[in-house]
Chain A
């Protein structure tokens, strides 16, 4: 097993960050973030390395990694699509967004495409309720989504390289009533009985 290493500049950043806190373990989340940004996910070897740097056990690190949903314990796709499924987004048609991604990519929430391009996840409220439905794509928000915008966006992402520093949200124009009703067909029966899957 190859020893776990981090690049020198990342280690310098980590040491400087740890020094800002009154207690070393307090730097746990930022250090784990630094590892995930560098490696794409957090391996068991990484947990041992982080534990050594912060003066705590690897199992303490693992407990934290498993508690927080944004940390990945296995590699994910180049693009991680996290569609908000919570109430405000559901009210505005989030299921239609998930359905379109599922149809286009042939994967279920929680899965990654065989070519490693995309991972699809349903996540909880991302504080974009007034511009729902929305998704987070790596570190960037896309808001006021429609199925058509998903089509264009997926094509665009295939040809693009992820950039951690590109965080400014893309807020499309809000769909009008007509487009909304296409995403959210008016019906008396519950949403889940219309073929949409219960969350």
Chain B
């Protein structure tokens, strides 16, 4: 399957040059925003709705529908917020976009702002993104100089200002309501919903928050039309998606694939298969928060929203982590448990206590001191976390915990201090694996 290049074309064709305005415009950039300025805001939203584009940050919510939630009759200012706080382990696609094609992201933001009637937009970078930030700042400066930002953009009567913001190290600031708190100068504690950000977001005003990749897709859709976009992908998963690929494979990196691509073909083809001397143990297809797939589950899997869900995992952020047989599943889970225990904001008890508890138990097992009861406690604690907290960080710990034990039980059992009754462990998994994503 030859991949269409909606998002990566310029960066791949002109590496090292694609980030400057001249190169962007030479390749047709800033045509879509001019077109959008001549359209009614409703027509722009309709076009995005018709495209079937779904949020690329992780949740996969229909983008046009999200845009339509922004009230048009509010007397408060409306804000657009681009989420460039890319922090999901295994994910580096937004970094690629911001470094190689910042104007594409900027144009997407402009179109979204015009569609919701926002005159002040923000781009929130993670604090570690010093280089993408430098590229972005240069792009914004170019845009201001050309009159593409500021008073009367592109010679229209539409005023549009931009503030570039940056974090300081907190995974949870990437959660959309955590980001609102962070941008207001506070700890990034996610907010209870409702009210949803579309009604009461930044500074208690209607706020649209979209992922960097989502916004970068918008110019192509407006320029070429929703019908052209829906030619790519599957009926429910339209268009293309960026996959950040890592692990002991031949050719790691960011790839743009049409939705519905065959997973194993991708691994064996574009990614160059496994590195010499390593066999495939499993793949986490959508960032560290989604359940791991065994080689058996990977075979025949389709890389789209429905296809991965059917296998019990998710597209998530598209962080495609390939795990080799040279590391134990227990090590993998401990690594992730440490991450979530470190990144839990501490607001909700199930998450604050649960992440740390799971980390301690897995460490105990890895130390050779664990028991079957400890494994069952990990499963029970996970069940008591998923869906029981303000945001999804608890689920993001619970899913890998249950999935790793369910799919690699013998590796956990082999490390326990006493023999494990595998049937009993399987029964315990059966009591708790209802929390995992499944085909709807």
Q: Is the CB of B328 within 8 A of A129?
A: no
**A30-B165, A130-B254, A177-B275 as given contacts; A23 in contact with B331, CB under 8 Å:** no
Instruction: Supply 10 A–B pairs (Cβ within 8 Å), ascending by A.
Output: A25-B186, A33-B168, A63-B186, A68-B167, A91-B327, A127-B94, A130-B252, A131-B252, A140-B130, A191-B328
A: which residues have CB within 8 A of B?
Answer: 20-23, 25-30, 32-33, 54, 56, 60, 63-64, 67-71, 85-88, 90-92, 123-132, 136, 139-141, 167-169, 174, 177, 180-181, 184, 186-187, 189-193, 198-199
**A32-B168, A70-B128, A167-B131 as given contacts; A91 in contact with B185, CB under 8 Å:** no
In the assembly, what is the distance between CA of A190 and CA of B370, in Å? 14
Q: Is the CB of B168 within 8 A of A127?
A: no
Q: For residue B331, which residues in chain A have a CB less than 8 angstroms away from its CB?
A: 90, 190-192
CB contact list, B303-340 vs A, under 8 A = 319, 321-324, 326-328, 330-332, 334-336, 338-339
B64 adjacent to chain A (CB < 8 Å): no
Q: For residue B245, which residues in chain A have a CB less than 8 angstroms away from its CB?
A: 130
Q: Is the CB of A167 within 8 A of B253?
A: no
B214 adjacent to chain A (CB < 8 Å): no
B: which residues have CB within 8 A of A?
Answer: 77, 86-92, 94-95, 120, 126-131, 133-134, 163, 165-171, 182-188, 203, 244-248, 252-254, 275-278, 284, 288, 319, 321-324, 326-328, 330-332, 334-336, 338-339, 342-343, 345, 363, 366-368, 415
Nearest to B86 among chain A residues (CB) is: A127
Q: Is the CB of B336 within 8 A of A23?
A: no
Shortest 8 CB-CB distances between A and B: which pairs?
A: A28-B185, A68-B168, A129-B246, A69-B169, A70-B169, A130-B252, A25-B185, A88-B246
Q: Is the CB of A124 within 8 A of B415?
A: no
In the assembly, what is the distance between CA of A177 and CA of B244, in Å? 21
Choose among B128, B168, B185, B334 the residue that contacts A54 (Cβ–Cβ < 8 A): B185
Q: Is the CB of B335 within 8 A of A127?
A: no
Q: A67-B188, A68-B167, A191-B331 are in contact. List 11 more A-B contacts (CB 8 A).
A: A23-B203, A26-B183, A29-B166, A86-B339, A125-B89, A130-B246, A131-B252, A141-B131, A167-B130, A186-B278, A186-B326
